[in-house]
Structure 1
Amino acid sequence: MFYLVGTTGFPNYGDELIAAMWLRHLAETAPEAEVWLDCPSPGPAQVLLGGIHPKSRFTDTFWRLCWEAPGDEPWEVARWVRQAMHNPSMACRWAAGIELAAQAQVVHIIGGGYINCIWPKHYGLLAAAVGAVQRSGGRAVMTGQGLWPAAEHATTLVRELAAHFDLVDVRDEPSAHLVEDVSALSHTGDDMFFGIGSHLYRRPGEPLREVMLCLQSDLLEMPRPALASFVAETLRAWDVTPDRLGVVEGIPGVDRSVFDLIEPELPGARFYPFAGVWGHGLPAGPGQVWISTRFHMHMLAAAAGADGVAVAVNADYYSTKHRSLIERGSGWTLAKDLRAVERPGGGGFGGPVLQSLREAKAAVAAKIYS
């Protein structure tokens, strides 16, 4: 039995893509295996992802343990969760789920940036994985992890827990430095490098807008009007008319509110809601220019050959994420201070670069599920 752990079901476009990618991989390589995905919102995750692997099922045991742990401090959470994995009576409402996880051959914490100082209770996920495989005799692995920025006093905790993992794969340089002493470390980038393909995009020949926006309103270190003003000024400087503009939503509602502020000045701009992007593909391709705060829009648009500006709305968290793609060859410009930027022309990821990134991630997948 394979036990995946991810932050799916919210929904968040990038998180759903990563989970779908791993479920698709297991559907191809292990269609008869029992696969569980432990996530915060198993109901919505079932609706979005339930048909990908024929034997996939969804639960939220590890997340419930993290939320129920006394206190918010990472060491406290990790200690309590690990104890509960060995003594389910401490968390009797989730005892059945604990016993299920303790049968896993592989506990796989799939990629994303959800175990760090922004969500300190999530360090309990590492502790739950370690507790599960200590009971089952299986293997704990993590892939594509963005562990930076680390919570205060949590560096030693992360290293001690990571030492129990058979494979530790991270997506950015600060995360690699955080766990640099772990012998099983690899640094292959975000998990979605393994899953990029034509199935993620709109059908060939479908008209695309020349300039695209993806603007979040969560985790901002600046007021929403400041971000809206930056985008409006940039569009004016680039002489972009509304009929050439598209706006993409990565999290439903959350990625609409900044655009709402400038929409009255942009009649004719096309809005692509999350449901449409999920169901029909991302409207990205060569010749476009994007302005995106979202990491996975940056990744997938650049993979499609689009130029772009990545806006870091959170200095430590989002700068690290976007920089990890730029350093791997996305060709995008990083805007860190909401000052005017020139229209970029980097051309996105090159084909050989993408192939190399995919091969590195495929090698990680083979180590886990060969």
Structure 2
Amino acid sequence: MTSAPPARRITPAGYPRTRRPPARRPLYYLLGTAGHPNYGDELIASIWLRHLARIAPEADVWLDCPVPGSAAVLLDGLHPRARFTDTAWRLCAEAPPGGPWGKAAWVQSALENPGLAYRWVNGIELMASADVVHVIGGGYVNGIWPHHIGLLGAAAAATRRSGGRAVLTGQGFTPVDEAEASLLRALVDRFDVVDVRDAASAEALRMPQAQGVDDAFLGAGTFPHVEHTADLPRYMLCLQSDMTEHDGGDLAAFTLATLRAWNADPADVGIVEGIPGQDRAVFGLIEHALPGARFFPFSEVWRSGMPVAPHQTWLSTRFHVHLVAAAAGASGVAVSLNPDYYTTKHGSLVELGSHWQLVEDLTDVPKPPDGGGFDPEALAGHTRRKAAVAARIYPG
């Protein structure tokens, strides 16, 4: 005896709406910003894919991200049924002008009436059949990229159609002005799980109960890292040239002054690239002053793991490099290059117990840090906290 076909409804534009029949495997739809590549964004996506591979290997998993081709290569094999698309990101990019409110409204309208976005009808129908639409963590929905707020609209509208759940985790929503925060609150009100990574984001939502920790903590203890740590340099740098209010020369001068103050042997210095190209530029200004220094390109870091060890001292402008190095027990200094963005991010880790110094003034040369990273008990607590959020979203 054959089962009845799924119910069909016709939209005003003539496109059928199909609800997925109940007897099928779960469909989990992740929204994130993988594929750029960016170490932190790829790390978060990889952690969620590995988590779903452990608890739901039979589920269909889609990751909607800006560069799905690159993401498919970087994240290949982490979940046996993972696939990659860019539907929601395309909708945000293609939405007509109108500020974040207008773009979020159009994205939601396109989910309700796919004829408005006829090039992505099939992708819209896929998203609108998901059991869970999950906006995974990161700092990509805020006033710096206000059109990305449309991603929350896509999740809310898709699950309104499917009857599934919209959830978000580990989000950093600042900086954000009051008009944008009002839109965030209106959209987040339609989410079943709301979890942000810092106090400023919870305050913007007026939801103190939503304050959590960064999604990367879900994978703490299992971060891929170089195994032969004894061979790694003692002093490690990660120096970005993007998202900064400072000239590259200022950061270069600050870095050399810091290494001199720490009596660092140039041959015992390593440089990590978190974003290809962006984290090579500043090193290019100082590499002649650091003979024998070792450069770790992103490709090597992603293939072999972060070159981190407890005996090291780090100087990092990147947030997730700070998180991973501190999780390994390394001492360090976090450098904020943008007070409206990075001070909140690095500050959240200091508040959670990373023991790193936070520097905002590039004329303020820091003393050698010796406090280590996260205490093991504190790190385990953050991991349990994030695991509890994951358990609210996905059945074990």
**TM-score scaled by length of structure 1:** 0.98
Q: Which residue of the other structure, out of 63, 76, 82, is the alignment partner of 1:50?
A: 76
User: Which residue is equivalent to 1:362?
Assistant: 387
How far apart, in 1, do the equivalents of 2:248 and 2:284 lie?
10
Displacement over 3 Å in runs of 4+: none
Structure 1 residue 343, shift from structure 2 partner = 1.0
User: Which residue is equivalent to 1:177?
Assistant: 203
Structure 1 residue 200, shift from structure 2 partner = 1.3
Determine what percentage of the aligned residue pairs are the same residue.
Answer: 57
Matches within 5 A, 1:1-370: 1-71=27-97, 73-151=99-177, 153-181=179-207, 185-338=209-362, 339-370=364-395
Deviations 1:134-158 (A, max 9, x none): 1000000000000011145111100
How far apart, in 1, do the equivalents of 2:69 and 2:241 lie?
25
Q: Secondary structure at the match of 1:347?
A: coil
Q: Which amino acid aligns with 2:138?
A: G
Q: Secondary structure at the match of 1:153?
A: helix
How far apart, in 2, do the equivalents of 1:96 and 1:117 lie?
30
Structure 1 residue 76, shift from structure 2 partner = 1.0
Gaps of 5+ in 2: 1-26
How far apart, in 2, do the equivalents of 1:122 and 1:72 lie?
13
Gaps of 5+ in 1: none
Deviations 1:225-249 (A, max 9, x none): 1111110111111111111100000
Root-mean-square deviation (Å): 1.1
Q: Which amino acid aligns with 2:28?
A: F
How far apart, in 1, do the equivalents of 2:223 and 2:71 lie?
20
The number of residue pairs the alignment matches comes to 368
How far apart, in 2, do the equivalents of 1:198 and 1:161 lie?
34
Deviations 1:203-255 (A, max 9, x none): 14541111000001101101111111110111111111111100000001110
How far apart, in 2, do the equivalents of 1:151 and 1:273 lie?
36
Larger Cα Rg: Structure 1 or Structure 2? 2
- Contact 2:129-2:162 at 8 Å conserved across structures: yes
Structure 1 residue 70, shift from structure 2 partner = 1.1
